[in-house]
Amino acid sequence: MTNTIERDLTQKLEKNHLEASSTEKEAADIIKEQANEAFKNSDYGKAIELYTKAIQIHPDAILYSNRSFAYLRRGWYDYALIDAKKALEYDLNYIKAYYRRASAYMALGKYNSALCDYEYVIKACPNDKDATTKYEECKKAVTRIDFEKANAVDESTESAVNQIDLSSMTIEPDYDGPHLNVNGHVTKEFMSTLLPYLENQKILHKKYAYQIILQTLSLLKSLPTLVEITVPNKHKFTICGDIHGQYYDLLNIFKLNGLPSEENLYLFNGDFVDRGSFSIECVLTLFSFKLLYPNHFFLARGNHESMTMNQMYGFEGEVKAKYTAQMFQLFTEVFNYLPLAHCINKKILVIHGGLFSKDNVTLKDICAIDRVRQSPDEGLMGELLWSDPQPHNGRSKSKRGLGIQFGPDVTERFLKLNNLEYIVRSHEVKQQGYDMAHNKKCITVFSAPRYCDTMTNKGAFLTITGDDITPKFTSYAAVPHPAARPMTYAN
């Protein structure tokens, strides 16, 4: 009798559990469909939020894999990797999870790990053309890296400058574009012709492009890692964030806010290139303004001013398509000399990414960073270029796989130690183009609206004056551009 009662009770509990589980799955599926719709509309933040709710109700491989995909679209590669691995814990045979994990590994530069996952995918799905293409791309990357390691030599002997012979480059009679003056210098007249010329999808003559890049290299070599800027009273100073090859939106900034001049100062805070398909137009314009106004126009390095990022996200391919492979080598060298930080009126620190994994970092420490190299995976330079703020106190592992996440307490201690009012950084898409976090002491400005032609964000720039450092923001929508999709030149 007792055994019968226990058996009946067990069966009843199992039935109730199955019914509850079924109800939970139905609820999770409803939220998943909402998340899928948000993803289709390129609202990846909303999609992540909804996938998370569904996972909390009834986790499974599909939900983790879908959220991994949304993280990939946001550029949060470490989070994407974690979710892809989690999906495989729920279903070791779920092919899409291997694909997501491979994509995350690729974005993090872990090509050998990515290659193993892509091999698994194409064996399971031999007719999947996209997977086969990704596998071949990854295989090429592994081969290239192995070749570069095998043929590595002392960087000091490899300057691209020594390979360039300007005297052999002639200006053809039918060239109808802007000309540098007789001394090879950028002038206001040159800039007034250059901007509309590039806007009409024409290519600046190779000789002039090389001259601009070489002169910029020489100028950047004379600058410290942390540049001190003094903005006079009543003078406007504008800080712009990521441009990412969106040349027509760059022109719109100048239309809205005025062209750079000795009275209209600008700082562009890194990530001039990659993703957008007009990166060469952006960087040549910015370099030219730097040459024209060396003490009133400022450029900082972002995490995308690096060889690895440029090889993956389009700049290398674009330079090779519009100019030469040699020019890309030169750009890589120039990017190494871009300053990492700017301090305005001793009160505002402008850096691309964020703060550090340890306290007691001073402006003097930043100034002492050896910046003339590719961005390392750790240390002050890597954290400065890659880190992001988080809403809660303390520090956390980065969602990107590089740098850290830092809280309002970290910001407060850094500002107090260095006698600063606030920091300005970029590096992250924001819906209105800007964000004020950490009690308005950590400001993000992002200047690429409708990022990658898929996001719904606006762009923004920030303005202050020498006698009033209270930030004022201007948001703007994307403007039309020629029919060249983002990542056209990307590997």
Annotated domain spans of the chain: 2-150, 160-476
SS3 at position 237? strand
Q: Is the pLDDT of residue 123 over 90?
A: no
Tally the C-alpha atoms within 13 A of residue 225's C-alpha that lie toward its C-beta: 16
- The mean pLDDT value for 79-92 works out to 90
- Given 3.40.50.1370, 3.40.720.10, 1.10.150.120, 1.25.40.10, which CATH number is that of 2-150? 1.25.40.10
Residue 296 appears among annotated catalytic residues: no
Convert the pLDDT of each residue in 341-380 to its tens digit. Answer: 999 999 999 999 999 999 999 999 999 999 999 988 889 9
Q: Considering only CA atoms, which of 231, 266, 214 is closest in space to residue 344?
A: 231
In percent, how much of the chain has pLDDT > 70? 93
Distances (CA, A) of 457 to 44, 390, 434, 454: 11, 20, 10, 9
pLDDT grade for 49, boundaries at 50, 70 and 90: very high
Using CB atoms within 10 Å of the CB of residue 289, give its burial: 0 to 12 exposed, 13 to 18 middle, 19+ buried: buried
- The mean pLDDT value for 369-395 works out to 95
Lowest mean pLDDT among 24-33, 142-151, 164-173, 354-363: 142-151
Chain-centre distance of CA 236, in angstroms?
27
Residue 156's pLDDT is what? 47
Determine phi and psi for 118, rounding to 5 degrees. Answer: -65, -35
- Given 3.50.50.60, 3.40.140.10, 3.60.21.10, 3.30.2130.10, which CATH number is that of 160-476? 3.60.21.10
- The mean pLDDT value for 20-43 works out to 87
pLDDT grade for 154, boundaries at 50, 70 and 90: very low
pLDDT grade for 210, boundaries at 50, 70 and 90: very high
pLDDT grade for 77, boundaries at 50, 70 and 90: confident
Q: What is the pTM of this model?
A: 0.83
The whole-chain average pLDDT of the chain stands at 91
Residue 5's pLDDT is what? 63
Using CB atoms within 10 Å of the CB of residue 347, give its burial: 0 to 12 exposed, 13 to 18 middle, 19+ buried: middle
Single out the catalytic residue among 205, 304, 352, 438: 304
320's tokens = 């090779």
Q: Considering only CA atoms, which of 437, 432, 380, 372 is closest in space to residue 404?
A: 380
Q: Distance between CA 199 and CA 278 in Å, rounded?
A: 10
267, 464 in Cβ contact below 8 A?
A: no
First to last CA, the chain: 71
Q: Is the pLDDT of residue 163 over 60?
A: yes
